[in-house]
Structure formats: structure tokens, C-alpha cells
Amino acid sequence: MYTFTWDGEPPTVADVCERYGLSPDEIDAEFGVIAIDPQDNLYTILVNRDAVQRLDQTWETAADDDITGPFSNPPISPFGPPEP
């Protein structure tokens, strides 16, 4: 997952792809663009694992400081019943 800020109307997947140079198969369209903190205009997207390295390099050279990530996406499980 990556997070970024976006002023104005909530962005679409296409908006995000255009701004950050993502191809449609690199972003999870079903996940979409999720507002995680509307107060700060903060959004998150889910990016294809294979694309992370390329995007990191791209964004690093572009000095895009309003996008942050990647954030871990660990598996989660129920806490019960406990197993020996």
C-alpha cells in the first residue's frame, strides 16, 4: 500500500495512474482509491507487488514527496480458538 494526499474532489484510479505514472495493471482497481483520513485529504492505493521496486525508483528520482510507501500488507487471522 502507498499513501498520498490529494486536494479537491476524491481522485479516481485513472487520476492516480496519471499523476504517478502507474499502468492500469500495476494498481489494484478493485481496491480502488480509499480515503483513509479525509481530514488530511489522505488516500491509499494497493499496488501490484512486482511493480513496487520500479515505482520506488521512479518516485525517488521524481522526488515525489507527497506519496509514501510501500507499507506492509501482512496477513491477518482470527484470534481464536487458541491453538496449542
CB of 17 to another protein, least distance (A): 18
CB of 80 to another protein, least distance (A): 3
Q: In what order do the strands lie in the sheet with 42-45?
A: 34-37, 42-45, 2-5, 67-68
Residues of this chain that bind another protein (CB under 8 A):
1, 3, 28, 31, 34-39, 42, 44, 46, 68-84
CB of 24 to another protein, least distance (A): 18
What is the number of alpha carbons within 13 Å of residue 41 lying toward its C-beta?
9
Long-range contacts of 13-19 (CB under 8 A, 24+ apart): 13/45, 16/43, 16/45
**Residue closer to another protein (CB basis): 61 or 72:** 72
**Residue closer to another protein (CB basis): 5 or 23:** 5
**Residue closer to another protein (CB basis): 61 or 77:** 77
> What 3-state class would DSSP assign to 15?
helix
